[in-house]
Structure 1
Amino acid sequence: MSTKISTWPAATPMWVDLGVDDLPAAKAFYADLFGWDFASGGQDAGDYQLAQLRGRTVAGMGPKQDPDTPTAWTTFLASDDVDLTAKKIDAAGGQLLAAPFDVMDSGRMALAADSGGAAFGIWQAGTHIGAERVNEHGTLCWNELHTRDYTAARSFYSKVFDVSYQDVTEEGLIYSTVRRPLDGREVGGIHHDTALPDHTPNHWMTWFASDYVAGTATRAVELGATLLGPVEESALGRMVVVRAPQGEVFGVIDAPRTSD
């Protein structure tokens, strides 16, 4: 399925949001690229915007809270109890960047860095469950950790979120899929990225689905983005990595052909 109306199970990457310097420009870019509309996050949400596709919320976007922070998509993992998850993060060698707090009646959240320094969010749903449409053109379809600290990262997320792993390592690639505890479903990945430049921190990568990856890549360039490599074939379909005009990096990959 591609729509979701109930709370996402714990440990699932279920939301992404973006802080930018120029919010109108970012909205225009993604509206053109993916067909997103935008709605206000609510009276007390400042300029935070909910990106929507055909009436369902798919991502969040707002002005940066700190202008010195890099522009990047943040991956949020679902939690049944953010406060307990925050304690586990500390015990596992991570760091809280923002202690748990309520976001009106939408939910409760925290921001953290794992033991290798990769930033991510934690979300305990209230009225806002996260992404309501996934795995189709213009929506979130995959999140993966790019890390130099592969063994340590696997240990960290298993301690904090009780996930397990499926090793899919092959020649030239050290990779595990992340299986959530509820049902063992593969919901994300951990990549031992030995090609990370020295100045690039360990990070979570957001992938959006496309029905026509080459066309999406071409349009992104026309809108001022840069491709970080050519459109390539993979076992999961065509894919490309894009740097948007304000600097955030994301992947585009063929929309899944199987049900959610």
Structure 2
Amino acid sequence: MATRERAPLGAPIWIDLTTSDVERAQQFYGAVFGWTFQTAGPEYGGYVNAALGSRPVAGLMRNDPQWNAPDAWTTYLHTADADATVAAATSAGGQSCVATMDIPDKGRMALLTDPGRGFFGLWQPAGHDGYETADEAGAPAYFQLTTRDYAGSLEFYRTVFGWSTETVSDTDEFRYSTASFNGVPALGVMDGSAFLPEGVPATWTVFFGSDDVDKTIELIVENGGSVVRPAEDTPYGRLAAVTDPTGAAFNLTSLPD
């Protein structure tokens, strides 16, 4: 298992799942990805930390019905100053959803949306450096923002996070850019205006690595998940879109040989 250094500034650093059934989620992700779990304790509101081997990989928390939000994965971007980043984001057209707060002995966080209403988090580490695995089945391998406001989203994240982006394709059928950190593409922005209905917010999606995407899909279905888009070979690997038993969506991607 490869140890992942702390994510570069502006890059994804952590993910967590807001779920209506924390116990069911642990059973599912444990069976599918081999994760193990440890409750952080009452002082952290029952937050559950997931590990792959001995290294942190994700978090799980209860979805409060009062939030009136579906179960979903949240992607957190690395910041050195959460308050300053929230200020920059709101100035660039974003909106604060949960104000910056301290997580004792761990770091500082905030939740916000971009101009396309894509929901994401900020993480300013101070004891918790985010997920610590790389190039491993069951670990985050890639991230994607799908949005109807493609140009506006790229401008927002370049302005707020200093992303260096490259256009991969610029046709009406497939308009896509990647953002690289230390020379490595870590995420993509897809123009969803051709297929996302009007009014649907932008969506951040995490791709988990798999040694065998088809076998992982079998495990997902056997353990109560669903297939949204079957596995297919692409120039970027074998990909699939799935959900867990309560409908939280994520993608799978094959790992390089």
TM range (shorter): over 0.9
User: Which moves more between the two structures, 20-29 or 187-196?
Assistant: 187-196
Question: 2:219 aligns to what SS in structure 1?
Answer: helix
- CA offset digits 1:168-195 (Å, max 9, x no partner): 0166311000134xx3542211000222
Stretch moving more, 120-129 or 184-193: 184-193
- Post-superposition Cα deviations, 1:138-180, rounded to whole Å, max 9, x if no partner, equal 0100111000000000011011001121110166311000134
**3-state SS in 2 of match to 1:86:** helix
Task: Report the equivalent of 1:148.
Answer: 148
When residues 67 and 117 of structure 1 are mapped into structure 2, their CA distance, relative to the original with a 3 A threshold, is: closer
Give the match for residue 175 of structure 1.
Answer: 176
SS state at 1:16 partner: strand
Deviation, 1:67, is 4.8
Does residue 162 of structure 1 match 2:162? yes
Question: How far apart, CA to CA, are the structure 2 residues paired with 1:41 and 1:175?
Answer: 38
Q: Is the 8 A contact 2:6 2:132 kept in 1?
A: no
Give 3-state SS (helix, strand or coil) of 2:157's partner: helix
Q: 1:197 to 1:246 in 2, by over 3 A?
A: farther
Could you tell me whether the CA contact under 8 Å between 2:209 and 2:254 is conserved in 1?
Answer: yes
Is the 8 Å Cα contact of residues 71 and 248 (structure 1) preserved in structure 2?
A: yes
Q: Distance in 2 between matches of 1:184 and 1:157?
A: 17
Two-structure CA RMSD over aligned residues (Å):
1.6
Q: Contact 1:140–1:207 (CA<8 Å) still a contact in 2?
A: yes
Letter in 2 for 1:204: W
Q: What is the aligned partner in structure 2 of residue 31 from structure 1? A: 30
Unmatched 5+ residue regions in structure 1?
none
* Separation (CA, whole Å) in 2 of partners of 1:134 and 1:49: 21
The reply to whether residue 243 of structure 1 matches residue 243 of structure 2 is yes
Matches within 5 A, 1:1-260: 2-4=2-4, 6-65=5-64, 66-169=66-169, 172-180=173-181, 183-193=182-192, 194-198=194-198, 200-257=200-257
Equivalent position amino acid for 1:133 in 2: T
CA contact (8 A) 1:86 1:96 kept: yes
SS state at 1:230 partner: strand
Q: Aligned pair in 2 of structure 1 residues 256, 82: CA closer, same or farther (>3 Å)?
A: farther
- Higher strand content, 1 or 2: 2
Return the alpha-carbon distance in structure 2 between the equivalents of residues 20 and 198 of structure 1. 27
Quote the sequence identity (%): 37
- What amino acid is the match of 1:127? G
CA distance in 2, matches of 1:200, 1:249: 15
- Give the whole-Å Cα distance in 2 for the aligned partners of 1:130 and 1:58: 8
Secondary structure of the 2:2 match is: coil
8 A Cα contact 2:208 2:252, kept in partner: yes
Q: Work out the CA distance in 2 between the residues paired with 1:27 and 1:148.
A: 33
How many correspondences in the alignment?
A: 254
Post-superposition CA distance 1:183-240 (Å, at most 9, x none): 3542211000222245742110110000010000111111111111221001121111
Q: Note if contact 1:164-1:184 (Cα within 8 Å) is conserved in structure 2.
A: no
